[in-house]
Structure 1
């Protein structure tokens, strides 16, 4: 694998991250330059699998996911796999994390709803917790990695639940409801009512009650994950703190309108969070450079 080929592969992953993961991409700019390509590779791989799952009218999605998993153990054959293979080697990322991720992607092919948070948690382990665990070696820690791992997994879950709340309407169009059925039932909400709200673009108190409960649960997850940020290497904390803040901010925008439009943190708020984060990142890098100077 020539350096030029590998550089091009990472550049392709960066473009995927920049196009589809704007908030996440903004946060990655606060990492050291040598860390960013690995994060882009992890993101691009996850996005690739997600695109396979969501491809409309594709009958062989399961076999395509099987092919992706098989390719992980062969000579890399495309830019995403080239960059991912290098990232896995460079940071000694556990191969089983990708197996678990793809297992959750396969669940999306035939599981359309979840009875409760415990059932949803089986899916979220592979779709989100393992992403936090994949990231951990890249970010680095000031404590043993296994001590930081539960917090990284929990933050992945918080991000995923935030996405579920933001994307209720889009997921409905794909035939999926990630909001737990027991929470829906407690408020007298079913799939038909969710679809009615989406179709008519009208708020509903019962639906709002469901969203409020799950927003509160998600805020609690963010609080329980927050101590893990201090366990990361100093140069990585500004990135994760920025992502933490901006994703958590999405929760404050969640109302019935998520069923008919995609809410987003305003650009002014993004940069109000990112600019101080950039300052902290520069200070952390300067401190690291001084410590490395004989």
Structure 2
């Protein structure tokens, strides 16, 4: 089935097929659930390109997420140069960038989001606290949304009005996801000397992010409620793009709902442990949407 996906994606050169396969193996290791959803629920012709975009995003994050800020900034500068050189020349010594180059050739919209994502990485390197809701919104607009759009743009409708609605839905979705990320990662972020829960909300509740008490519980529930609003708004995403993408988008949003439920259940205990969606519930969701996909006719994928 993977070989067929490569064929349909237009990846026919033996070397490049091996490199896409290596990226696929990496994505399957670090993003197992997301890979399963893409593999089961997206048209075969899109899957290799989704894999290439996710692998690029992960490689970028890995390169800029280690060491003090000045080292991370230097790593980003070097990486930015390598990426832009690869896109300009149509080749690279790095397999992850050769795959990205081919994906950009097949789906030129990806290039715009690569540029926006690399610019947003400057904020990702530098941030240590999120001051308030406005600061969170800037983080989402500058970094989180461009990161999502590396892959989401592959599903975007061609119609201008529908595309605007799709992008707005993606914005709401990633804002909810980012808020959940910051709650799930609370202990890890604190160990790294940073926190993504808005500082003004922490102060308003009088919460100590290291102490699993009632104040932190109220803070978690407030942030979860805000994420809930955005996930509810994002539920319209399947309605503004091709029907063949609906099962994947519903599954993606459904998994975020499961993550949100887990965060609510964990409450103040997030000070000492992370949380995540229940595996049986996530598997059931994927199976349900897979069955739904089999009943949904799919039009040809845009190139």
Match among 46, 49, 59 for residue 60 of structure 2: 49
Q: Which structure would you say has the larger RCO, counting Cα contacts within 8 Å and 6 or more residues apart?
A: 1
Moved over 3 A (4+): 56-59
Which has the higher mean CA deviation after the structures are superposed, 209-218 or 79-88?
79-88
How many matched pairs?
280
Which has the higher mean CA deviation after the structures are superposed, 140-149 or 17-26?
140-149
Matched, 1:120 2:136: yes
Return the offset for 1:94: 4.8
CA RMSD in angstroms comes to 2.3
* CA–CA distance in structure 2, aligned partners of residues 280 and 99 of structure 1: 35
Return the offset for 1:113: 0.4
Q: Which runs of 5+ in 2 are unaligned?
A: 1-10, 86-90
Q: TM-score, normalised by structure 2?
A: 0.85
Tell me if structure 2 keeps the 8 A contact 1:167–1:259.
no
Return the offset for 1:135: 2.5
Structure 1 pair 21/61, CA: closer, same or farther in 2 (3 Å)? Answer: same
* CA–CA distance in structure 2, aligned partners of residues 117 and 150 of structure 1: 18
Which residue number in structure 1 is paired with residue 51 of structure 2?
40
Which residue number in structure 1 is paired with residue 108 of structure 2?
92
Match among 253, 265, 274 for residue 262 of structure 1: 274
* CA–CA distance in structure 2, aligned partners of residues 206 and 22 of structure 1: 34
Match among 194, 206, 209 for residue 194 of structure 1: 209
* CA–CA distance in structure 1, aligned partners of residues 204 and 125 of structure 2: 27
Which has the higher mean CA deviation after the structures are superposed, 83-92 or 47-56?
47-56
Which has the higher mean CA deviation after the structures are superposed, 137-146 or 119-128?
137-146
Where 1:194 maps in the other structure, the secondary structure is: coil
* CA–CA distance in structure 1, aligned partners of residues 164 and 137 of structure 2: 20
Tell me if structure 2 keeps the 8 A contact 1:113–1:178.
yes
Structure 1 pair 134/58, CA: closer, same or farther in 2 (3 Å)? Answer: closer
Tell me if structure 1 keeps the 8 A contact 2:145–2:174.
yes
Which residue number in structure 1 is paired with residue 194 of structure 2?
176
Which residue number in structure 2 is paired with residue 200 of structure 1?
none
Tell me if structure 2 keeps the 8 A contact 1:53–1:109.
yes
Q: Which runs of 5+ in 1 are unaligned?
A: 198-202
Instruction: Write out per-residue CA displacement over residues 184-239 of structure 1, whole angstroms, 9 at most, x where no aligned residue.
Output: 111012xxx223x3xxxxx2111111111110000000111111221121111111
Structure 1 pair 270/87, CA: closer, same or farther in 2 (3 Å)? Answer: same
Q: TM-score, normalised by structure 1?
A: 0.87
Which has the higher mean CA deviation after the structures are superposed, 66-75 or 266-275?
66-75
Tell me if structure 2 keeps the 8 A contact 1:72–1:85.
no
Tell me if structure 2 keeps the 8 A contact 1:133–1:153.
no
Matched, 1:25 2:40: no
Match among 49, 55, 79 for residue 95 of structure 2: 79
* CA–CA distance in structure 2, aligned partners of residues 104 and 73 of structure 1: 15
Tell me if structure 1 keeps the 8 A contact 2:262–2:278.
no
Return the offset for 1:115: 1.2
Tell me if structure 2 keeps the 8 A contact 1:54–1:174.
no
